[in-house]
Amino acid sequence: MEATPLSQSANPQHAFAGRGSVFSAALAITAGGILRIWMLRKFFEVSGDSQLYGGIAKNIILHGSYAVSDGSGVLHSTLIRLPGYPLFLVACFRLFGMENYFAAACIQILFEMIGCLLLALFAWRVSSPASRLCSANATLWLAALCPFTAIYAAAPLTEAPTVFAIALALWALARFQDKHDWRSALAFTFAVTFAALLRPDGALIGAALLIPMLLAPLPQMGTITRSASIRTGNSSGTLQTHLRKVLVCLILALTPFAIWTVRNWSVFQVFQPLAPRYATNPGEDTWPGWQRWVKTWCLDFVSTYQIYWDMPGGPLDINQLPSRAIDSPAQYAETAKLLGDYEANGEELSQTLDDRFGQLADERIAAHPLRSRILLPLGRMADMWVRPRVENLPIDLDWWEYKRHHVETRFSWFYAGLNAFYLLLAFAGLLLRPSLWPWMLLYVALRSALLCTIEAPEARYTIECFPMLFALGGIALGRLFSRSPSAIRTA
C-alpha cells in the first residue's frame, strides 16, 4: 500500500515529540555510539587503502599535489582514487593533526549516527500513517545497532562516508517530494555528488534516485491544473521553478567531476571522469588475461584473500586453487606449467604469461559457458550478500571448520544469521510497498548487477545497500508493532 503524502500529515520532526519516542531515540543513539566507540578501540587499524588515501592527503597538504609517494619519497601524480576521501582526510589532518586517522574515524562515527537519524526520518516519511512512529523508531534501532556498518565507521575507509551520503540522499529525496524546496534539492545534490566522489560505484545512488527526483513536482502540478480556483499558469510557474532547480543542481553536481576530468586530461592525457576499474594509472598493466582466468573459478572471499590479492608479485601454489579451477588432467598439467613459468619469472606477470592465462581462460569459458558467464557471477554476488561479515574481525578464513575453532565458528554462524535477519526484514518491508520502494529496489538491483562483474568478491561491497535494508526492515517492524495494543497506546 502506498504511503499517504507527507503534506496530509504532521511535520516529520514531530515523530519523536512524544516522551517515549524521544527516550527510545536517545537510547538508540547512545547504544549505537557505544558500539562504534568500542569497535574503534578494539579494531581500529590503519593499513592498505587507508594508508593510500592518507598518503594522497599528506601530499596535498605538504606539496599541493594529488600524488602518491614511492619508497624513495618521490611523488607520482595519480588518478587511481577519486578525490572525495583524500579531501575528507585533508580536512581532518588540518583540524586534528597530520596522520590523525583516529580523529577521522571519530568524525565518521558522528556522521554515521547522523545518518541513522536521517534514515529514521526517511522511514517516517515513506511509511503508512498508522505505523510511521514505530517505523522510524525501528529503523533507528536497526541502523544504530548494526555491527556490519558500525565496524566500518571505525575504519578510515570510504564505506562509512558513503553510507552517510546514501542516507542523506534518501532523506532529501523524501523531503523534496513533499516540499519541493531548495534545501532538499541541494542536500540531495551534495549527497549523490559526495557518494560518487568517494567511490566510482557511488554514482549508482544518483542513477537510481534521479527519476523520482525529476518527477517529484508532477502530482502537485496535476493538483494545480485540476483546481478550478487556481489558474493553470501556476502549473507553468511550478514547472519553471523545478526546471531551474534541476539545472542548478545538475551544474553543481557535474562541476567537481568536470574539474577532475580536466585535471586528469592535463596530467595524463586521458579522459577519466571517475577512476579506473583496476585502480591503475595510465600506462600501468591491468593483466586482462589473468583477470579473465580468475573469473572462471573465483567464487568466494577465501580465493580473494589467498590468491587474488597476492597477484602479481606473490607466490601461487596450484594446491591453493579450488577444484573448480581445473576441469581435467590435461588442464591440470597446463595450469601447473603456467604457474611454474610464473614462478620462474620471479613471481611477476609478463605480457606472454598474461596472454597464456587469457588463452586458458578462453578454453575454460568455451567448455563451460553457463558456469563461467552466469553461475559463477551469480555465485560471487550471492557470496557478497550472505556470507558472515567477519572480514574485519580476527577470525580465520576457514571459520566453518568447527573442530579447529569452536567459538569463531559459532560467532560466524551468528553473524550469518544476523545478516539473513536484516535481509529478510528488508524483503518483508519491500512487500509492504512503501513510498519510493521501486527506487530503493532499483539501487539494490543496479549494485547487485555491478557486483556480478567483479572478479574477486568481498562482502564489504554490499555495505552500501544497508541504508535501504534498514529503512525497509524498520518499515516491516513498524507495521508489526503498530498493530499491537501496547504500540497503539504508546503512539
Enclosing H/E stretch for 67: strand 67-69
Q: Are 372 and 364 in contact (CB under 8 A)?
A: yes
CA angle in degrees (0–180, nearest 5) for 158-159-163:
120
Nearest 5 degrees, angle CA 162-CA 166-CA 170?
A: 170
Q: pTM for this one?
A: 0.90
- Specify which residues 75 forms β-bridges with: 69
Smallest CA-to-CA distance from 399 within 302, 323, 305 is with 302
* Residue 114 CB burial class (10 angstroms; 0-12, 13-18, ≥19): middle
User: What is the residue extent of each domain of the chain?
Assistant: 6-225+244-273+413-490
**Residue 32, C-beta contacts closer than 8 angstroms, at least 6 positions apart:** 113, 116, 143, 144, 145, 150
What letter represents residue 224's amino acid? I
Per-residue pLDDT of the chain (491 residues; tens, 9 = 90+): 444 444 444 455 444 445 678 889 999 999 999 999 999 999 999 998 999 999 999 999 999 999 999 878 899 999 999 999 999 999 999 999 999 999 999 999 999 999 999 999 999 999 998 899 999 999 999 999 999 999 999 999 999 999 999 999 999 999 999 988 999 999 999 999 999 999 999 999 999 999 999 988 776 655 444 444 444 456 666 788 888 999 999 999 999 999 999 999 999 999 999 999 999 999 999 999 999 999 999 999 999 999 999 888 888 889 999 999 999 999 999 999 999 999 999 999 999 999 999 999 999 999 999 999 999 999 999 999 999 999 999 998 888 888 888 899 999 999 999 999 999 999 999 999 999 999 999 999 999 999 999 999 999 999 999 999 999 999 999 999 877 544 434 33
Instruction: State how far the Cα of 202 lies from the Cα of 96, in Å rounded to an integer.
Output: 27
Residue 201 main-chain phi, psi, to 5 deg: -75, -10
Cell of 357: 592465462
Decide if 112 contacts 33 (C-beta within 8 A).
no
